[in-house]
Amino acid sequence: MEPTQAIGIGREAIWTVVYVAGPILLTALTLGLLIGVLQAATSIQEMTLSFIPKLASVVAVLLLLGDWQLLVLSEFFLMVFERIPELFSQ
């Protein structure tokens, strides 16, 4: 296996993780920011006020996009497994 091939697979893995986890992280970040602004404006500093809505939104995004995420990850791993013979035949 050439180092460039390993780096290429690693790069694709990182982009796949960003692609799959991006919607979840952006949802949590956006909602956390909105709740933080609301807490700062109202001087309410309750920890569960920010945690529970973020948790609920992450669960909702997982329910909506879970099938798609599983499909993307499955396609990536199939691509990696299909490359195994050509990687070690050199």
pTM assigned to the model = 0.78
| CA dihedral angle for residue 29, residue 30, residue 33, residue 38, rounded to 10 degrees | -140
Count CB neighbours of 50 within 10 A: 18
Give buried/exposed letters for 68-83 (b at 16+ CB in 10 A, else e). ebeeeeeebeeeeeee
CA count, 13 A, side-chain hemisphere, 32: 11
Q: Hey, how many other C-beta atoms are within 10 angstroms of the C-beta on 20? A: 17
Tens digit of each residue's pLDDT, the chain (90 residues) = 778 888 988 999 999 999 999 999 999 999 999 998 998 898 888 878 888 999 999 999 999 999 999 999 999 999 999 988 887 776
